[in-house]
Amino acid sequence: MSNNNLIKGSLQTIILKLLEENDRMYGYEITQRVKELTEGEIKITEGALYPALHKLEAEGMLTTEIQQVDNRVRKYYSLTKDGQKEVSAKMSELQSFVGNLQRILDPEWKPGLA
Amino acid sequence: MRQLTDIELQEIRKAIMRKEISSAEILMEVYDHYISHLEESSEEEFNEQLFELEHKFTYAYCHALQAKYNKEIRKELSSLHWQVFKRYFCLSKILYVLVFSFLAFQLSRFVTDQKEIALFMLSPLLILAGAHIFFLIKSYFKIKSIKKNFNAEGPLQSSLFYPISEKLYLPVMMAYGIIWSSEWIFNSKTTVNLAPSIAVVIFITLSIYVLTLFEVWQVKSKKSLI
């Protein structure tokens, strides 16, 4: 099943959350980390990742630094202060959405119950 | 993870160059993605994996990514410039601005003829010209190694190069405007007495503009290829 549409809406939250846990990351590393955490269930496409990273950077949520790696330049992304504030806002927004979705799918479901 | 061979690296560069990317930041990001991905595949899988990457990073995708990035950069740069400019009027810096303005007004008293007024008004442009030369040299050396690595002869440049260059040219255009309207400023009976004051206001505005632009460039040069 393709869950691309489901991921699309939460891609920014995923990126911000990963960067909150890992001081700084580069594009390819983000795709691999998501793949690893979800055991390959979620694959972030490059087509969506880089525009999202650039947008967050332009909005001031992320800052970048370039570093020479072997014979090439690597661009690392990390959270700005605004980005750090945005993570908690985005996380609670997403958690509340998931909770509401859960209630729609399973009216018997109560938060905190497995 | 393995070290890619020179032939493999050459093949990657060729594949990326075919996309005719002109933004150095996008080019380097795509190149790093390719290498990071291919380093995890075996020598036998190399061609297959490269082919897969080529399907993801198509010519159209790279150009769309580049266009979006250039647009975002322009927006970000303007917003950063405005933020830096506003900071000059915050409590921490306003005192310096006021002292500088006071000194500029005092200096304007010694300015008498047209030539002196023009020189006084446009003197920040000399700093700007110096900054521009420094900017061009630094950008050239930052891009030089990438161009050499990719054997690129096309218009490869940092995405920030043109937006900053435009901002550098803005005061020059303003200077043309001043020269064009100098007849009105210096020869009209109503404005001739105000000329030194007009000159000092332009001098202060230009100085702050140049200083803020220099700060923006300093911030961005640490994080990008300018």
Q: What is the average per-residue pLDDT within A39-63?
A: 92
pLDDT of residue A113: 56
Of A114 and A78, more confident = A78
For residue B65, give how far its alpha carbon lies from the nearest alpha carbon of chain A (Å).
6
Cα B146 to its chain centre, rounded Å, is: 18
Q: Is B193 helix (H, G, I), strand (E, B) or coil?
A: coil
Model pTM score: 0.86
Which pLDDT score is estimated for B64? Answer: 96
Query: Is B144 near chain A, with CB under 8 Å?
Result: no
**What's the CA gap between B36 and B121, in Å, rounded?**
53
The CA distance from B73 to the nearest CA of chain A, in Å, is 6
pLDDT at A29 (0 to 100): 97
Interface test with A, best of B34, B36, B76 (most A CBs within 10 A): B36
Confidence of residue A1 (pLDDT cuts 50, 70, 90): very low
The pLDDT value given to residue A112: 63
pLDDT average, residue stretch A24-51: 93
Rounded average pLDDT over A74-103:
92
- The candidate with the shortest Cα–Cα distance to B225, out of B119, B139, B114, B98, is B139
Other C-beta atoms closer than 10 Å to the C-beta of B81 total 20
Give A2's pLDDT tier (boundaries 50, 70, 90): low
Span A21-27, average pLDDT: 96
Q: How many Cα atoms within 13 Å fall on the side-chain side of residue A61? A: 21
Give the pLDDT score at A84: 94
* Pairwise CB contact (< 8 Å): A65 & B35: no
Mean pLDDT, residues B21-27? 94
- B97-106: average pLDDT: 90
Strands A24-25 and A72-79: antiparallel
Q: What value does the mean pLDDT of chain B take?
A: 88
Predicted local confidence at residue B175, as pLDDT: 80
In this prediction, residue B202 carries a pLDDT of 86
Return the structure tokens found at B81.
């410039």
Domains with residue ranges and CATH for chain A = 4-105 (1.10.10.10)
